[in-house]
């Protein structure tokens, strides 16, 4: 097998994109010269329509080559990625025939698959509508990032460890930080939906994976503190779509978002004190959400509660059934995306200043408190007892 260049060795997703681009190039080489001719007026018309559709799928303003690149992608690259997505949707729905794709769209497919490969090469974690054409990329990553089919300005960041109930490992948190940084720099983004793959939103920190290394546990808590700060500092509205478990750090992710939609049968709460752990990383966001008195009672009591009770006590802004969760979240996101982006950003920044969300020192100090306590004998003894029973 031919060795893979270092810049393409990041993951099998990049290799999949490269294979796709090679197939596109081979298709292009097989196109008769008369079909590639610039004198083919019909071909030029189809190409122009295709580029227009790709631009509309990406944003209302269309690609602008003079504009600065977003997330490291030029306007033409982004339009190419959108075009690949359009072709994928049309082929699956039957609106584009196989013969039509083979004869008329080979040149476009070759160009667009190259653009997709270049886009993936730039980022190991982020996919921009790539899930439609390169499912391997998003399925294996610990974080899956996609754009809404009806409004690409709505971005979904999904924790992608369904077998572990999306517990926060060091790998997940690291990918989370990278994804948030790219979303923060995406000028086209209008709404962020935070979600979890599978039956649970997030079951908290995956401390069992680093059971023998309290130092790594502490580093994970510090990283979680940075993630919550970065979520809060986004200038676009954030929605937590919560199904199943949202416990400990998972509940913290839910509470730090501007909106949280939870279904009645979900399981939410902060059981840290039961484990000998201090919930200092997430407690500042809970205090801001429900107030100091109710937060004190909830954190000291520990345990968990149903989604319906969590909604009544202020952990979530919206209550839904599990069946309607996706639809309700979509409706809210589409509504928020209609707001003026400058007005949204200014309002969020002012509210964050008023409630002290920009006080990084408090969050980072909380992470240090949690890290110090989790390395102590009490926490280690309780955690090992629970893990032994679970085994």
Quick one: pLDDT at residue 26?
A: 44
Quick one: pLDDT at residue 45?
A: 58
> What count of other Cβ atoms lies within 10 Å of the Cβ of residue 96?
17
Quick one: pLDDT at residue 216?
A: 86
Residues in the chain predicted with pLDDT less than 70, given as ranges, are 1-139, 390-391
Instruction: Name the burial class of residue 362, with classes exposed (0-12), middle (13-18) and buried (19+) by CB atoms within 10 angstroms of its CB.
Output: middle
Quick one: pLDDT at residue 390?
A: 60
Domains and CATH numbers, the chain: 6-122 (no CATH), 142-390 (3.90.226.10)
Quick one: pLDDT at residue 178?
A: 95
Quick one: pLDDT at residue 134?
A: 29
Quick one: pLDDT at residue 163?
A: 93
295-306: pLDDT as tens digits? 999 999 999 999
35-88: pLDDT as tens digits? 444 444 555 555 555 555 544 544 444 444 444 444 444 444 444 444 444 443
Both structure tokens of 263? 């279904």
* DSSP annotation string for 201-215: SB--B-GGGGTT-HH
Quick one: pLDDT at residue 208?
A: 78
* DSSP annotation string for 14-26: HHHHHHHHHHHHH
């Amino acid at each position: 097998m031919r060795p893979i260049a270092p810049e393409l060795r990041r993951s099998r997703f990049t290799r999949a994109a490269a294979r796709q681009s090679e197939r596109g190039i081979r298709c292009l080489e097989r196109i008769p010269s008369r079909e590639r001719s610039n004198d083919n007026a019909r071909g030029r018309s189809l190409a122009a329509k295709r580029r227009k559709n790709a631009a509309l799928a990406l944003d209302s303003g269309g690609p602008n080559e003079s504009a600065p690149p977003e997330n490291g992608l030029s306007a033409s690259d982004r339009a190419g990625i959108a075009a690949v997505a359009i072709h994928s949707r049309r082929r699956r729905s039957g609106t584009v025939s196989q013969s039509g794709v083979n004869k008329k769209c080979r040149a476009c497919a070759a160009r667009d698959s190259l653009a997709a490969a270049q886009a993936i090469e730039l980022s190991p974690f982020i996919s921009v509508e790539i899930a439609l054409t390169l499912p391997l990329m998003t399925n294996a990553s610990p974080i899956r990032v996609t754009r809404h089919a009806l409004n690409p300005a709505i971005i979904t960041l999904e924790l992608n460890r369904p077998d572990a109930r999306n517990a926060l490992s060091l790998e997940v948190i690291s990918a989370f930080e990278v994804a948030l940084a790219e979303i923060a720099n995406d000028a086209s983004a209008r709404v962020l939906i935070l979600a979890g793959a599978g039956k649970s939103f997030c079951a908290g920190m995956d401390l069992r994976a680093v059971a023998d290394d309290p130092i790594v546990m502490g580093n994970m808590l510090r990283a979680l503190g940075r993630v919550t700060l970065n979520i809060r500092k986004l200038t676009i509205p954030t929605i937590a779509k919560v199904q199943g478990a949202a416990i400990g750090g998972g509940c913290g992710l839910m509470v730090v978002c501007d909106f949280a939609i939870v279904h009645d049968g979900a399981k939410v709460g902060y059981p840290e004190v039961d484990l000998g752990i201090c919930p200092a990383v997430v407690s500042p966001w809970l205090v801001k959400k429900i107030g100091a008195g109710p937060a004190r009672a909830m954190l000291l009591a520990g345990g968990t509660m149903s989604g319906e009770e969590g909604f009544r006590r202020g952990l979530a802004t919206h209550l839904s059934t599990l069946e309607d969760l996706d639809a309700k979240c979509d409706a809210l996101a589409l509504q928020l995306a209609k707001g003026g982006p400058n007005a949204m950003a200014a309002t969020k920044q002012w509210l964050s200043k008023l409630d002290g969300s920009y006080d990084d020192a408090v969050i980072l100090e909380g992470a240090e408190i949690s890290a110090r306590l989790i390395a102590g004998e009490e926490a280690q003894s309780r955690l090992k007892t629970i893990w032994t029973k679970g085994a």
